[in-house]
Amino acid sequence: MHDIEPHFKWRDDYIASEDPDSPFYGYENSEVSFTHRLYNFYIHPQWDSFGSTTLYGKLLWVDYDEGFALVELIGEWNDALHNDIMYLKRHVAEPLMEKGIYRFAFFCENVLNFHTSMDDDYYAEWAEEVNSEGGWIVLANVRQHLIEEMDAARLWQYLNYGEHFNDLFWQKHKPPFVCAMINALVDGRILPLQP
């Protein structure tokens, strides 16, 4: 786990710790010290903490004019024990929504497990807030066993995920193109791009 880095090829375009409107403004990552752990495993020091002990992320891109945020996640999404949705909504989404962000895409290749609490209040609240502004919440590249857990919790009512949002090769493109592609997928205008 310690050698999985967040996507870094967009750092010429955006760095969350240097954006005064970002919830991670001023956040300092160590270049050499491993401080965050996922259970007994250290994770790469470039991942950012937002309060959860099992789920970490990296705000990769924000477009305040278009209302987009692209976030990469790593770890275990555990609502049953740690209420990770609360941390994600309160400490990442809400500060961004205060700045006009209502379209959220989370890249979940490195999310290894999902555990539901069967309490969907945070999901319902968040979906209602973004939908009222014409926005959405997308989980891209979610592992099949996580999709099954999310389906069992009926999260499809609030989140966009599944077949059309998997196998997105987002790292090869610039952020504005990725935002446009995901927006078109949500609107049902295109099928996912292949490599």
Q: Domains for the chain: give ranges and CATH numbers.
A: 16-187 (3.30.750.24)
Task: Give mean pLDDT, residues 86-105.
Answer: 98
pLDDT of residue 191: 56
Higher-confidence residue: 96 or 164? 96
What is the token pair recorded at 136? Answer: 């959405």
Cβ atoms 149, 116 nearer than 8 A = yes
What is the token pair recorded at 74? Answer: 């790593």
Question: pTM for this one?
Answer: 0.92
Partner residues linked to 71 by β-bridges: 59, 106
Name the least confident of 7-11, 85-89, 108-112, 123-127.
Answer: 7-11
Could you report the per-residue pLDDT of 27-78, keeping only the tens digit for each?
Answer: 887 666 777 777 778 888 889 999 999 999 999 999 999 999 999 999 999 9
Confidence of residue 86 (pLDDT cuts 50, 70, 90): very high
- Is the pLDDT score of 166 beyond 80? yes
Helix (H, G, I), strand (E, B), or coil: what is residue 89? helix
| Angle 78-83-86 from CA coordinates, rounded to 5° | 125
pLDDT of residue 30: 67
Cβ atoms 136, 160 nearer than 8 A = yes
